[in-house]
Amino acid sequence: MDVAAVIPIPKETVKSKMPQPLSDEEIQEFVKSIDYNNDGYVAYKEVERKLDDVANEIDPVPKKHHLHHHERKASDRHNFLRSVLGTDKDRIPNDDFATKVRQWEIPSLQQEHQTDKEASDFLKHLSWSRKLRSWWSVEGPQVCFIGLVVAMQLAFGVWQLVKYLTTSPYTAGWGWGVVVAKTSAGVLYPTMFFLVLSMSRWFATFARHSYHLSQFVNWDRSQSFHIKISFVAMAFATLHVIGHLTGSFVFGSTASRQDVVTNVLGQEMSYSDYVASRPGWTGITAIACFYLIGLFSMPPVRQWSYEVFQLAHLLMFPMIAMLIVHGTRGIFQWPMLGYFLAFPTLLVLVERVRRVLLGLKKIPARLVVLDEETVEIT
């Protein structure tokens, strides 16, 4: 069906949207770039030199697998250059060569530049409200997802902050350290959930099939999200450790606070007792594994040996195990972190086990050497 027969379109509009050939200014600039000696003539050698310069700029040292044609003879190259020049003469005037170029009807770049300029001018004249609505229609759902993550972190963090700041037995027995540690733990609950979930390829593949989920989460940036939320998790995990090792363990081991400690825990506690307790040694082990994973995830390590980077990430399994056991004693409250880690950890664990089993399965393959640097596996 002819669109113009249904919707009347001005001929000027249709003509302006059709590809326009090179303008006289563009042709003259092109001819001038070939006329190296500026003698007013385009010579055979100058056309050959120009094509060689372009070829060297595109691919200075082409490999065998870059060339998708058989090696051509020197006569083929000569005939091609003669066809470009359009004559058997060694040189022709610039005006004659410009006429030859004009016959090629090469699309002009000015039209593309003009289109870009019109689009830029259109955006400049849009109102801020229109720009905001346009931006929100594209980025809004993803902003909502980030807002959900931050809102959950704030909600659990504020809940723990208010609970331990306003309840006298905790501050009276363990001072400011327990407030800092438990507030950080509250932020870590949703943070660790999203951190481990972002490592699941199965979940990302499943979510890509959902139109609505893909609107709210840009799965192409899951690695970037994983890196950023890892920094957040490491920061609050460090605060949690600082709150305990330099705060609550110190305050909770002083003689003046042992009455409160005994009422809550049922026994007096020294600093070494806190460190040797189940929450103490599991927490130290977990943060050590976390630091090692972060250390071996640095760009220099990944560039040096990607295998070391991958092997270091296997420490996440003992780290997660320590985090789940960390709160099972229920000293201050019932254990929560294990519930947040259960679902994403199960996904990642099943994926890794399946990957190992598939790696042990023999798959027949054919190896073909294309050249000294390239092989084809099918």
Which residue in this structure is represented by tokens 């058997």?
Answer: 88
Instruction: Provide the sign of the torsion angle of the four alpha carbons 49, 51, 52, 54, taken in this order.
Output: positive
Q: What is the mean pLDDT of the chain?
A: 84
Q: If you average pLDDT over residues 324-353, what whole number do you get?
A: 88
Average pLDDT over residues 67-80: 68
Q: Which two tokens stand for residue 268?
A: 């007096």
Percentage with pLDDT > 90 across the chain: 34
Predicted local confidence at residue 30, as pLDDT: 80
Query: Scanning the structure block, which residue is given the tokens 């400011």?
Result: 176
Distance CA(4)–CA(100), nearest Å, equals 34
Instruction: Report the Cα 367 to chain-centroid distance in Å.
Output: 32
pLDDT tens per residue, range 112-130: 777 777 777 777 787 888 8
- Which stretch, 9-23, 99-113, 301-315, has highest mean pLDDT? 301-315
Q: What's the confidence (pLDDT) of residue 67? A: 62
d(CA 261, CA 174): 8
3-state secondary structure of 338: helix
CB atoms within 10 A of CB 256: 7
Give the pairing type, strands 374-377 and 41-43: unpaired
Q: How far apart are CA 189 and CA 327, in angstroms?
A: 12
> For residue 6, what pLDDT is reported?
41
H-helix or E-strand spanning residue 147? helix 128-166
- Beta-bridge partners for 272: none
Nearest to 247 by CA among 168, 346, 175: 175
pTM more than 0.85: no
* pLDDT tens digit sequence for 222-266: 888 999 999 999 999 999 999 999 999 999 899 989 988 898 888
Distant-in-sequence contacts of 304-307, Cβ < 8 A, 24+ apart:
none
Average pLDDT over residues 270-275: 92
Q: How far apart are CA 261 and CA 274, in angstroms?
A: 12
